[in-house]
A and B are shown apart, each in its own frame.
Chain A
Amino acid sequence: MIRKLLFVAICISSINSTAQNNSSNSIYFYKDLSSIYYAKQIDSLKKALVAPKLYSKETQKKYEEYYGERVASICNALKNNEYLYSQPIHAYILNILKEITTNNKSLISNEPLLLLDRNSSVNAYTCGFGVIAVNMGLLDFAKSKEELAFILAHEISHQVLNHPENADKKRAEWITSDEYKKKLNDISNSEFQKLTQLSNLFKSFTFSKTRHSRFNESVADSLAIVFLKNAKLPFNANWLLRLDSADNEYKTDLKQELPSYFKNYNIDISSSLFEKKYVGLSAKKYNFKDTTTLEDSLKTHPDCIVRYKTTLLQTTPNINETPIPANIKVLAKKIMLWNLFDDKHLTSCAYRVLLEKDNGNMDSWYDFMLQNVLFGLVYSSKQYKRFNAINIKPKELISKKYYQLQTMFEQVSTENLEAYFAEMGKGNFWNDLTPDDRAFKNFITEVIAKESMPKEINSLANSFTKQHEETFFIEFVNHFKK
């Protein structure tokens, strides 16, 4: 097993050593996407990662199935470009990881393999096989190197304690156990409440798994604090409290009224468009349960309060936290925003841009992204897919202004959207953007003009690809190829 992990480690570290630096003009290059960057390694990973022989025939079969699912999941994620390689971010996080591992050599036998996930959720995770993935959302959220180090140490702890592998083993053992089979038979033979019995059977496993997982989280916290101490890094229990609110990103309200953000681009949007014109259940005062707060079990980081209380006494006094370098934060945010746009999460993307405006960010790249959002809305409207592009969220999970923004996106006519898009195209901010950015603007403008001509759009996409083959825009442009 260790040999295989080392092999994988060599595969990935060898890629890192040949990586090129990103140009300052581009947030990343097309070839940095995981399907290209790790292309040769995906097959090697599949071959290298084989479930060890641990059990009798039946349990082993199940174990191999679950293990295989985990391998497939990471390989598919790599193929689907869920990850990317960004040299500055990678180097920054790797340094923190090394700071932890080199000072804990007796506890951490292998250096973790780092992957950068483009996802906007505030999270880092380990999928086993020595892999630790860090979401762009986490980099955007974390305030200091030390806070990030704690989260990384927590994930290394899961790795060291073999938590992902143990979960597969437990599941395989349970599903092939005599007790499970007997209970299934009992359910089959019973006349009533089969669903309840089946549900309880699974709940008992899930409960034990959850309990186990809660225990795992707590153990991982404790070990992470040990790792940090050995690496002379501080710990602050308040970081856990901050993580508890990590799912509230769209509950932060905007500082200004929505029309004023658009007025900066000479776009006059009637305030009535931000108010719902039709009556639906979403506008009623329903309260089936208290949905204003997310159930703890549904949070990205459950049990944070309990974990905070447990670790409070271990907080290092007088911590001087080192802010995450601005270039890393900016890069992570831009990668995340681009990914939201490419994934057609247009309201979320636009809202995050407006939040940046509230922070006084004058970078024209954000104006560029707002124009891209307008393009997405126009194009998806013409394709009768605006509903999915807006991705309407229930009001209890978002701020009032977010609700108004999605309402406007829903109610504004396609003609008006086109006019807003055209108006933004005249903005002064374009002077600050790169020739590649402007070429992309020309491409999307042409796509709107030729929306009903797929062949024309295909040739436009091919021609753009030829001229800008290295840019990260290619991933998006590929959506328009046949």
Chain B
Amino acid sequence: MRKKLTLVSTLLLLIIFNATSQSKVFREVANQISSTTRTISQNGNVIGYLVFTQLEKVNTDSFSYKITILDENLNDIGKVEFNQLWLQLQDLTFENDLIHLGYLQSTGMGKKFKNYKDYDKSMVASISHIYIQTINLEGKIVNSINRLVSLKTESSYYYYDSKGRLVSNIQLSPVGNEGFLCFYQDKDEAILLHYNSTSELQWSKTLSKDNSRFNTLYNNKHAYVFCNETIDKLETRVLRGYDIKTGNQSLKYNFIDKKSKVPLSLLDVYSDNKSGNLAVTGKIFRKYNYHANTFMENRKGLVSGVFTMIFNPNSKDSIKETLTYWDDKSMMPTLSKKGRIEETKTYPRIVSSMRDFDGNTQFIGYGVRIKSRIGAIIFSIPPQLGIWVAILQGYRKMRYTDGLIFKQTSDGKYAKVSDIELKKDRFRSLGSSKIIAPSFFTTKNTTTKTNYVIYDDDKNYIVFNTSTNKVIKKIPQKAGRKVDIEVARAKEGHIMILENNKKEKTMTLSIEAIE
């Protein structure tokens, strides 16, 4: 089977085929059609794909839409068509064999205006809703929910396209097989709602709208909300847990390092592979980090450790904190106090993490080497020149080195477990735009209880099994001069390989087992 990236309908193809001869009307029709593709996940695994397509405007306010559902092998298993007001799909979730889709719906949007005045008038008069639609696996829209919202309006002065947005987009998360959580923040409120599978509201919680960067999820009988809260004048990540049955608050935790009193920086949040409880990982900072998420955090020795927290409000021992500090040599034998790997003189830059199946946290990143630019220093001995050297080039240069994986055990022991050789780049000035950090993604196979990291070093995709500490595949990113290869996450234990043949103008897609 020549696998389908053809997520367009037959009709669309028909239009394309005829577009050359009847260009105007076909172009007009094609311009109205827009699609977004989302993955459908269950327990963190891709189980299918959903394509949401806006087909056409059916009257002054409404559009016609088509939802195409594909299985994990990209076989089309069904379509749902409906008419509705302007919709923007923001999130979806899957539970109890039901797909819940969260849209922003508005009477004011999807329109163009001749002038700003008309636009303004229309936006004032417009009514917007959160629209949650539930589709079963027979292709029927079985339920829908509407909640009135007030949008933050924006405008494009050039086109006068109507634009409005929520302060925080809709977030949907499954509650086992017993409904779903819905969170959104509009101009007036931030709210967390729990609906059962038949879309009946179980409880709602209004959250402080002074907070920001909300993230919500369900885990083991509790709904969790992460948000930024100002504590002692510092932006701090705060976690609140709510009992899923009653909606009562069961937990509150401020992510602050007890030693330095500095807020902690969170990396990842997930359901722990081993215990099934909520696991939160992150980095500990020596002082408040204005440079978080830049390589500077390591050079300046700002990161002083890593942590893993396991939350389980169901038990008495509701929070298990595992913190590792670089200066605790019993816990961390191979790093300097500033976090440098002494053996290779590189600073590990940790950017992600995952929990393995033995209860350990694997922190994943890559090495950074920073050197002084001797030539620049010598050149800048005349002070007038020095200013220009400092402005244009700086006195230091850097390059990314190998991929690094560290393991933190449940008792806080932290050690490098792997160097993964990546393409060697040359040292470049610190400010150079040519410095591109290697990227990667993680995936797991719950059947074989194996974790994988797939590094992209711009030359190969390197598939690394963190259970056996072995590179198991190297997939070149080029197959000849005209063929580009991309690798992405797919169904459990698999990766998706996209081969773009620029010469033949073809795209082939393959979903391959990792091992």
Residue ranges of A at the interface with B (Cβ–Cβ < 8 Å): 175, 184-185, 187-188, 191-196, 198-199, 202, 277-282, 284-289, 381, 384-388, 391-394, 410-411, 413
A-B contact pairs, 17 of them (CB 8 A): A184-B22, A192-B58, A192-B60, A193-B64, A195-B32, A195-B33, A278-B45, A278-B493, A281-B69, A281-B71, A286-B77, A288-B79, A288-B139, A385-B497, A385-B508, A387-B510, A394-B71
Contact B55 A198 (CB under 8 A): no
Contact A288 B22 (CB under 8 A): no
Q: Which residues of B contact A289 (CB under 8 A)?
A: 78, 139
Task: With CB as the reference atom, state the residue of chain A lying closest to B27.
Answer: A188
Contact B58 A387 (CB under 8 A): no
Q: Which residues of A contact B73 (CB under 8 A)?
A: 280, 282, 387, 392
B42 is an interface residue with CB less than 8 A from chain A: yes
B385 is an interface residue with CB less than 8 A from chain A: no
B194 is an interface residue with CB less than 8 A from chain A: no
B237 is an interface residue with CB less than 8 A from chain A: no
Contact with A along B20-56 (1 / 0, CB 8 A): 0110111011001100000010100111100000011
Task: With CB as the reference atom, state the residue of chain A lying closest to B485.
Answer: A384
Contact B75 A394 (CB under 8 A): yes
Q: Shortest distance in angstroms between B16's beta carbon and chain A's nearest beta carbon?
A: 13
Q: Which residues of B contact A187 (CB under 8 A)?
A: 25, 29
Q: Which residues of B contact A188 (CB under 8 A)?
A: 24-25, 28
Q: Shortest distance in angstroms between B346's beta carbon and chain A's nearest beta carbon?
A: 31
Contact A282 B14 (CB under 8 A): no
Q: Which residues of A contact B1 (CB under 8 A)?
A: 388, 391-393
Q: Which residues of A contact B70 (CB under 8 A)?
A: 281
Contact B59 A195 (CB under 8 A): no
Task: With CB as the reference atom, state the residue of chain A lying closest to B448.
Answer: A277
Q: Which residues of A contact B21 (CB under 8 A)?
A: 175
Contact B510 A384 (CB under 8 A): yes
Contact B512 A387 (CB under 8 A): yes
Task: Choose from A175, A195, A381, A394 the contact partner of B29 (Cβ within 8 Å).
Answer: A195
Task: With CB as the reference atom, state the residue of chain B lying closest to A206.
Answer: B14
Considering the complex of A and B, which 3 residue pairs feature the smallest CB-CB distances, nearest first?
Answer: A288-B78, A280-B72, A281-B48
B6 is an interface residue with CB less than 8 A from chain A: no
Contact A386 B513 (CB under 8 A): yes
Q: Which residues of B contact A393 (CB under 8 A)?
A: 1, 75
Task: With CB as the reference atom, state the residue of chain A lying closest to B495.
Answer: A384
Contact A286 B57 (CB under 8 A): no
Complex Cα distance A394/B73, Å? 9
Q: Which residues of B contact A191 (CB under 8 A)?
A: 57
Contact A195 B25 (CB under 8 A): no
Complex Cα distance A393/B73, Å? 9
Complex Cα distance A185/B47, Å? 44
Contact with A along B77-93 (1 / 0, CB 8 A): 11110000000000000
Complex Cα distance A450/B372, Å? 46
Task: With CB as the reference atom, state the residue of chain A lying closest to B21.
Answer: A175
Contact A388 B138 (CB under 8 A): no
Contact A192 B59 (CB under 8 A): yes
Task: With CB as the reference atom, state the residue of chain A lying closest to B97.
Answer: A284
Task: Choose from B22, B25, B77 the contact partner of A281 (Cβ within 8 Å).
Answer: B77
Task: Choose from B491, B508, B512 the contact partner of A278 (Cβ within 8 Å).
Answer: B491
Complex Cα distance A387/B509, Å? 8
Contact A184 B25 (CB under 8 A): yes
Task: Choose from A198, A199, A288, A384 the contact partner of B69 (Cβ within 8 Å).
Answer: A288
Q: Which residues of A contact B26 (CB under 8 A)?
A: 198
Contact A194 B25 (CB under 8 A): yes
B447 is an interface residue with CB less than 8 A from chain A: yes
Q: Shortest distance in angstroms between A237's beta carbon and chain B's nearest beta carbon?
A: 33
Asked if A192 meets B56 with Cβ closer than 8 Å, knowing A281-B69, A288-B69, A392-B75, the reply is yes
Segment 360-417 of B: residues with Cβ below 8 Å from A: none
Complex Cα distance A194/B32, Å? 9
Task: Choose from A199, A202, A285, A387 the contact partner of B3 (Cβ within 8 Å).
Answer: A387
Contact with A along B412-452 (1 / 0, CB 8 A): 00000000000000000000000000000000000100000
Q: Which residues of A contact B493 (CB under 8 A)?
A: 277-278
B5 is an interface residue with CB less than 8 A from chain A: no
B191 is an interface residue with CB less than 8 A from chain A: no
Q: Shortest distance in angstroms between A389's beta carbon and chain B's nearest beta carbon?
A: 9
Asked if A193 meets B71 with Cβ closer than 8 Å, knowing A188-B28, A288-B139, A413-B515, the reply is no
Contact B28 A284 (CB under 8 A): no
Contact B11 A199 (CB under 8 A): yes
B145 is an interface residue with CB less than 8 A from chain A: no
Q: Which residues of A contact B29 (CB under 8 A)?
A: 187, 194-195, 198
Q: Which residues of B contact A195 (CB under 8 A)?
A: 11, 29, 32-33, 55-56, 64
Q: Shortest distance in angstroms between B54's beta carbon and chain A's nearest beta carbon?
A: 10
B309 is an interface residue with CB less than 8 A from chain A: no
Complex Cα distance A444/B508, Å? 24
Contact B28 A196 (CB under 8 A): no
Complex Cα distance A185/B28, Å? 12
Q: Which residues of B contact A284 (CB under 8 A)?
A: 97, 137
The listed residue with most B CB atoms (<10 A of its CB), out of A175, A184, A188, A278, is A278
The listed residue with most A CB atoms (<10 A of its CB), out of B40, B59, B78, B513, is B513
Contact B45 A193 (CB under 8 A): no
Complex Cα distance A188/B22, Å? 11
Q: Which residues of A contact B15 (CB under 8 A)?
A: 198
B475 is an interface residue with CB less than 8 A from chain A: yes
Asked if A288 meets B137 with Cβ closer than 8 Å, knowing A280-B48, A282-B73, the reply is yes
Contact A193 B48 (CB under 8 A): no
Q: Which residues of B contact A202 (CB under 8 A)?
A: 11, 14
Contact A410 B513 (CB under 8 A): yes
Q: Shortest distance in angstroms between B71's beta carbon and chain A's nearest beta carbon?
A: 4
Task: With CB as the reference atom, state the residue of chain B lying closest to A278.
Answer: B492
Q: Shortest distance in angstroms between A479's beta carbon and chain B's nearest beta carbon?
A: 15
A199-B11, A282-B71 given; 17 more Cβ-contact pairs under 8 Å? A185-B25, A192-B59, A193-B64, A195-B11, A278-B72, A279-B42, A279-B45, A280-B71, A280-B72, A281-B40, A284-B137, A286-B69, A384-B510, A386-B510, A386-B512, A394-B77, A411-B513
Task: Choose from A196, A288, A387, A410 the contact partner of B138 (Cβ within 8 Å).
Answer: A288
